[in-house]
Structure 1
Amino acid sequence: MNSSQVAQPRSIGFIGLGVMGEPICRNLASKSGAALIALDKDAAPLQRLVAQGVKPASSAKEIAASVDVLFLSLPSGEIVDEVCRASEGILANGRRGLMVVDLSTTSVDVTRRLADDFAQQGMVFIDAPVARTRAAAEAGTLSVMVGATPEEFEQVRPLIATFASDIALCGAVGCGQVVKILNNMVLFEIVAALSEAKAIGERSGVAVGTLFDVLSKGSADSFALRNHGMKAIVPDEFPLRAFSVDYARKDLRYALKLAGECGVDAEGARHVDALLQSAIEAGDKDRYWPVISRLFQAGSPRAV
């Protein structure tokens, strides 16, 4: 089966119109050719999406009972689980044949339990967590890591292509979450290393802008250096309403849980977890997470 042979859904639902969800939903609405119905606690993104023909929904129950494919973009696996299992939620009210696509970063065990329970009700639950930035979501150039059967992957890939430029089938359900969680774990560890390099370089007489520019021309170059390093750490700008310290720690805790289940002592990840906790204690819970670099400034509280 290839994507050209897959029947496109007549209707799409979307729950969660936050920092990433709103631009993803906008791309789906403008490019998929399907009718969209969406839900969020905040009325503002729903009002903005009306211009793209998106219809506001009154409840998850209404969406689940009326669409062919339902996307979730929610802050945590715990919230995904709640939205799915509530009496007015998706599991209890979705029609047979419904495909639920979880774009959130959700723990692997929650993902696989939900997939089993949806299958018992004649529905499909797959994981497709997204990576990259809000700007990439707006441009339709996200990276998406999918856990599904090959047939399910082909069914959903044309829809994901409306908001992503890189789409990978990582294995069976849950494997998309494994890859996304490890992607974030590696990213967090690289940014911690950049933060250490910044502190050492500055105290040794090298400006951080010079340091990172030269590193980008050598073997230390990376996406993290060019984005989190040059665009956040160098100007010391860590805005609100971005991927926060609190969200980053949630994702890293999923990685540490997975490591424990696999019998791996993830020492580097545990170090970054301590940094994130120190940033929260310093009052930066809601700031863009590379703010951990400030912990290395002279006189700042340090992680244990």
Structure 2
Amino acid sequence: MKVAFLGLGVMGYPMAGHLQKGGHDVTVYNRTTAKAEKWAREFGGSFAKTPKEAAEGAQIVFACVGNDNDLRDVCTGDNGAFSSMTKGSIFVDHTTTSAEVARELSATALEMGLSFMDAPVSGGQAGAENGILTIMCGGTQEDFAKTEPVQQCYAQAVTLMGDVGAGQLTKMVNQITFVGAVQAISEGLAFAENAGLDAKKVVDVISKGAAGSWQLSNRGHTMVDDKFDFGFAVDWVRKDLGFALDEARKNGSDLPVTGLIDQYYKEVQRMGGGRWDTSSLIKLLRD
């Protein structure tokens, strides 16, 4: 298929590469054109200087940008993708955003004869690079059927969760759940260290039992080593938790632990750790 990919950050760059490797005709756009040029040299696709140019003639336009305003900009801003997309084509957004902006842009797309799907991802930079992301989609069954085989180029699981917005709501559940795990692991490892145990050996043992999790298996040893340069940054998780906490106020959910952990991440930012990965919560218990 002829597709476009807007946004070549740590996630989008390899995702777009998997599309090109999968046999699709890919045109990329990035706010910094030099990065788009580099991608084209590496993967053999094309690059464009605006979202509008990248989206021309594409059957599916993918995006993975920073936040709600970035998404609005690449969709409906000056030289936005919606203005050049062919009627009947589909915009698939992999950014983690609010559910509101997904519904807003879906309504705009429908007025223009286009389709919009929210499709946030989980799996981090490693998942994007290895093509094993988990994708949570919101949209129609028809649009999902058309886009799911293409998304499989960089995913191990692609699931339709409901109407537009349902993907973002599911991603909020993901973020609520995983930050709780990170805090629990941080407390456990700090306890192990204070008790004089071999913390890495503790990780190896308990990861095989009821305490086992992706976070423990993939971040336990690096947390012990005080290394926090492994992808998803504190600045970004605070953005995501903001969406979840806002939505919780609207739907009447109590998130006491999530709210507390959000404040812990705020303390990590104050320590200068905004670009550390999310496992850096343990720093608060050491420092």
- Normalising by the smaller structure, the TM-score range is over 0.9
Matches for 1:167-178 after TM superposition, within 5 Å:
167-178=158-169
On the 8 A contact 2:7/2:63 being kept in 1, the answer is yes
How far apart are residue 80 of structure 1 and its match? 0.7
* 4+ residue runs over 4 A deviation: none
How far apart are residue 260 of structure 1 and its match? 1.0
1:165, 1:296 → 2: CA distance?
A: 35
Match of 2:217 in 1: 226
- 1:45-93 CA distances to partner (integer Å, 9 max, x unpaired)? 5323334221110111112333111000112222112222213212333
Match of 1:134 in 2: 125
Tell me which amino acid in the other structure corresponds to 1:288: D
Q: Structure 1 regions of 5+ residues with no counterpart? A: 1-8
How far apart are residue 99 of structure 1 and its match? 0.7
Match of 2:207 in 1: 216
Matches for 1:70-89 after TM superposition, within 5 Å:
70-89=61-80
How far apart are residue 169 of structure 1 and its match? 1.1
- 1:105-129 CA distances to partner (integer Å, 9 max, x unpaired)? 1111111111111111100110111
Match of 1:248 in 2: 237
How far apart are residue 95 of structure 1 and its match? 2.7
Match of 1:147 in 2: 138
How many aligned positions are there? Answer: 286
Q: What TM-score do the two structures reach when normalised by structure 2?
A: 0.95
Matches for 1:4-153 after TM superposition, within 5 Å:
9=1, 11-31=2-22, 33-42=23-32, 43-153=34-144
2:36, 2:192 → 1: CA distance?
A: 43
1:60, 1:217 → 2: CA distance?
A: 47
How far apart are residue 254 of structure 1 and its match? 1.0
On the 8 A contact 2:6/2:74 being kept in 1, the answer is no
SS in 2 for 1:161: helix
Tell me which amino acid in the other structure corresponds to 1:283: G
Please give the root-mean-square deviation of Cα atoms over the aligned residues, in Å: 1.5
The yes-or-no answer on 1:237 pairing with 2:224 is: no
Tell me which amino acid in the other structure corresponds to 2:85: G
On the 8 A contact 1:86/1:92 being kept in 2, the answer is no
- 1:210-257 CA distances to partner (integer Å, 9 max, x unpaired)? 222221122111111111223x312211127x2111011111111111
2:77, 2:146 → 1: CA distance?
A: 27
On the 8 A contact 2:3/2:55 being kept in 1, the answer is no
1:169, 1:61 → 2: CA distance?
A: 28
1:207 pairs, out of 161, 179, 198, with 198
1:270 pairs, out of 243, 252, 259, with 259
Q: Structure 2 regions of 5+ residues with no counterpart? A: none
SS in 1 for 2:153: coil
- Which shifted more, 247-256 or 210-219? 210-219
The yes-or-no answer on 1:296 pairing with 2:285 is: yes
On the 8 A contact 1:191/1:229 being kept in 2, the answer is no
- Which shifted more, 80-89 or 248-257? 80-89
Tell me which amino acid in the other structure corresponds to 2:211: A
On the 8 A contact 2:99/2:165 being kept in 1, the answer is yes
On the 8 A contact 1:103/1:128 being kept in 2, the answer is yes
- 1:15-54 CA distances to partner (integer Å, 9 max, x unpaired)? 10110101100000110x3321111123135323334221
1:105, 1:229 → 2: CA distance?
A: 25
1:48, 1:128 → 2: CA distance?
A: 23
2:156 pairs, out of 165, 177, 201, with 165
